[in-house]
């Protein structure tokens, strides 16, 4: 089987600002640092040897503090800023090698971009704003109206298409900006601090909306942010930048467990561990597990021996069916477990956060199952397992 190719491949991306790029680049490649190059040439290093991949259908968050190079990196991907060195591939297309005409075509057909400022035309209705990119492409009026209206409905603005931007709230205007990008049906969405100008509650709603949209539309998204909480909310991998370089990349849990340096450690020290660690990280092998045709007597014997609060019931295919507690088993005798299931919802997916696991445990009987995409049983979590997982993370972070 051939290895799956990433949708975006960024390799050695370097950007030097100033008139002395031809002098500064060899110095940089010879090992001089950012400050040394600037002192010698006056040139400013925006990016240095940035390398990462973005898989198809993934939301990758490029983040860092102000001046880290994150927005410069995003704009180099579609060459709104011209890279000094390195390459960017979209599938098999080398973006950095394209001539002006081919680059414009690529931007029009394969990239969508959403900025922090909504950039809506105040004299156009929302429908006509969303149509704009299609109009530039020369799409006939009827077709572009249909595409625009479909995108408007996708982002939840149905009924607002004939309003003007000034008549919409900030969150609704940002939805319109997202709809304008989606109307082009791009392969890749580039989002630069897209929700930073919004109020916190609206911002959280937009983050949730973007995750839901991505699951439905399977777009490949590069999202620039300075906010770690936002990166965690969007899920997936993070590329953390400082002074134009990539410091570390991985999931938030990776950053917690194995920070690359003191900068990363300080960046994640206030992170909500329950919102990052997954059920898959905290689970343990199930002990009191029985197939659903087993009798209550058999299950009670196993439950008593194991000390678990419930017996976990699976079907012939190993898929979770529910749990049964000891009191129910004691009264049931030879009754089959499939007729006794007391909690069919006592489970979370392996990718669920511990916040979700805590909520499920609080409403159950002290233990829940951890399942795969088809309901297969992978492990279990009890209250003690949550405490152990948090303790492990604290020890890992301390070291």
- What integer pLDDT is reported at residue 391 of this predicted model? 63
The domain in which residue 370 lies consists of 279-391
For the cut 80, the answer to whether the pLDDT of residue 1 exceeds it is: no
Q: Which residues contact 106 (CB under 8 A, 6 or more apart)?
A: 78, 90, 93, 95, 98
Residue 3 lies in a domain: no
Burial of residue 163, with CB atoms counted within 10 A of its CB: 0-12 exposed, 13-18 middle, 19 or more buried: middle
* Claim to verify: residue 216 and residue 317 sit in the same structural domain: no
Among candidate residues 275, 295, 321, the one where a domain is terminated = 275
Alpha helices (H) in 169-227, listed in sequence order = 170-183, 200-217
Other Cβ atoms closer than 10 A to 172: 19
* Claim to verify: residue 179 and residue 160 sit in the same structural domain: yes
**pLDDT bracket for residue 171 (50, 70, 90):** confident
Residue 138 lies in a domain: yes
- What integer pLDDT is reported at residue 257 of this predicted model? 73
> How far are the Cα atoms of 2, 133, 241, 329, 342 from residue 338, in angstroms, in the given order?
43, 57, 53, 12, 10
- Give the DSSP H/E element, type plus range, for residue 385: helix 383-398
* Claim to verify: residue 238 and residue 310 sit in the same structural domain: no
* Claim to verify: residue 237 and residue 369 sit in the same structural domain: no
* Claim to verify: residue 270 and residue 283 sit in the same structural domain: no
- What integer pLDDT is reported at residue 395 of this predicted model? 55
Among candidate residues 275, 309, 333, the one where a domain is terminated = 275
What six digits make up the tokens of 327?
A: 């009191």
What six digits make up the tokens of 292?
A: 């659903």
* Claim to verify: residue 65 and residue 198 sit in the same structural domain: yes
**Domain CATH number, residue 335:** 3.10.580.10
> How far are the Cα atoms of 140, 255, 276, 288 from residue 398, in angstroms, in the given order?
61, 13, 17, 34
Residue 47 lies in a domain: no
264-283: average pLDDT: 81
Per the CB < 8 A criterion, the answer to whether 321 and 328 are in contact is no
326 φ/ψ angles, rounded to the nearest 5 degrees: -65, -40
* Claim to verify: residue 292 and residue 381 sit in the same structural domain: yes
- What integer pLDDT is reported at residue 3 of this predicted model? 56
Other Cβ atoms closer than 10 A to 132: 17
* Claim to verify: residue 253 and residue 221 sit in the same structural domain: yes
Residue 13 lies in a domain: no
Q: What does the alpha-carbon distance between residue 398 and residue 390 come to, in Å, rounded to a whole number? A: 12
DSSP-derived secondary structure for 238-283: EEEEETTEEEEEE-HHHHHHS-SSHHHHHHHTT--GGGTSBHHHH-
* Claim to verify: residue 134 and residue 247 sit in the same structural domain: yes
Pairing, β 59-63 against β 220-225:
parallel
Query: CA-based angle 126:113:136, to the nearest 5?
Result: 60
**pLDDT bracket for residue 399 (50, 70, 90):** low
7-33: average pLDDT: 90
Per the CB < 8 A criterion, the answer to whether 381 and 357 are in contact is yes
Burial of residue 390, with CB atoms counted within 10 A of its CB: 0-12 exposed, 13-18 middle, 19 or more buried: middle
Number of domains forming the structure of the chain:
2
Residue 188 lies in a domain: yes
Among candidate residues 275, 301, 326, the one where a domain is terminated = 275
Residue indicated by tokens 């600002």: 17
**pLDDT bracket for residue 2 (50, 70, 90):** very low
* Claim to verify: residue 252 and residue 109 sit in the same structural domain: yes
pTM here?
0.75
Q: What does the alpha-carbon distance between residue 155 and residue 147 come to, in Å, rounded to a whole number? A: 13
Residue 88 lies in a domain: no
**pLDDT bracket for residue 398 (50, 70, 90):** low
What is the tens place of the pLDDT at every residue in 172-210? 888 898 899 888 888 899 999 888 877 888 888 888 888
Given strand 238-242, what is the order of strands in its sheet? Answer: 111-114, 188-192, 220-225, 59-63, 238-242, 245-250
Residue 30 lies in a domain: no
Please provide the average confidence, as pLDDT, over all residues in the chain: 87
- Give the DSSP H/E element, type plus range, for residue 177: helix 170-183
Q: What does the alpha-carbon distance between residue 246 and residue 239 come to, in Å, rounded to a whole number? A: 7
> How far are the Cα atoms of 8, 108, 264 from residue 188, in angstroms, in the given order?
9, 11, 28
**Domain CATH number, residue 64:** 3.40.50.300
* Claim to verify: residue 171 and residue 61 sit in the same structural domain: yes
Nearest residue to 272 via CA among 367, 382, 358, 368: 358
Q: What does the alpha-carbon distance between residue 322 and residue 336 come to, in Å, rounded to a whole number? A: 13
Residue 28 lies in a domain: no
* Claim to verify: residue 287 and residue 320 sit in the same structural domain: yes
What is the tens place of the pLDDT at every residue in 61-98? 999 988 899 999 999 999 999 999 999 999 999 999 99
For the cut 70, the answer to whether the pLDDT of residue 350 exceeds it is: yes
Pairing, β 310-314 against β 320-325:
antiparallel
């Amino acid at each position: 089987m051939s290895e799956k190719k990433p949708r975006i491949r960024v390799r050695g991306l370097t950007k030097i600002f100033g008139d002395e790029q031809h002098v500064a680049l060899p110095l940089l490649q010879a090992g001089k640092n950012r400050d040394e190059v600037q002192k010698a040439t006056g040139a400013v290093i925006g990016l240095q040897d940035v390398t990462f991949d973005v898989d198809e259908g993934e939301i990758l968050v490029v983040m860092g503090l102000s001046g880290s190079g994150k927005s410069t990196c995003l704009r180099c991907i579609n060459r709104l800023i011209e890279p000094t060195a390195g390459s960017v591939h979209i599938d098999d297309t080398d973006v950095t090698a394209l001539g002006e005409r081919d680059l414009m075509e690529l931007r029009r057909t394969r990239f969508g971009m959403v900025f922090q400022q909504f950039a809506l035309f105040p004299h156009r209705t929302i429908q006509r704003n969303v149509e704009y990119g299609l109009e530039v492409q020369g799409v006939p009026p009827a077709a572009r109206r249909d595409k625009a209206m479909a995108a408007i409905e996708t982002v939840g603005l149905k009924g607002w298409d004939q309003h003007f931007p000034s008549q919409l709230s900030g969150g609704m205007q940002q939805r319109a900006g997202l709809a304008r990008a989606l109307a082009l049906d791009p392969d890749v969405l580039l989002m630069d601090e897209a929700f930073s100008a919004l109020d916190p509650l609206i911002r959280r709603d937009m983050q949730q909306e973007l995750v839901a949209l991505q699951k439905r539309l399977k777009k490949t998204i590069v999202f620039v942010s300075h906010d770690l909480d936002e990166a965690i909310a969007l899920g997936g991998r993070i590329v953390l930048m400082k002074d134009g370089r990539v410091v570390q990349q991985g999931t938030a849990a990776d950053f917690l467990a194995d920070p690359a340096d003191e900068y990363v450690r300080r960046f994640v020290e206030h992170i909500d561990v329950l919102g990052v660690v997954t059920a898959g990280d905290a689970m343990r092998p199930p002990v009191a597990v029985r197939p659903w045709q087993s009798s209550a007597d058999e299950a009670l014997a196993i439950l008593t021996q194991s000390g678990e609060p419930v017996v976990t019931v699976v079907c012939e295919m190993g898929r979770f069916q529910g749990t049964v507690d000891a009191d129910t088993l004691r009264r049931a005798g030879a009754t089959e477990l499939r007729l006794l299931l007391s909690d069919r919802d006592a489970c979370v997916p392996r990718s669920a956060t511990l916040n979700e696991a805590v909520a499920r445990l609080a409403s159950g009987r002290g233990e829940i199952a951890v399942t795969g995409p088809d309901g297969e049983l992978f492990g279990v979590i009890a209250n003690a397992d949550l405490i152990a997982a948090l303790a492990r993370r604290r020890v890992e972070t301390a070291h």
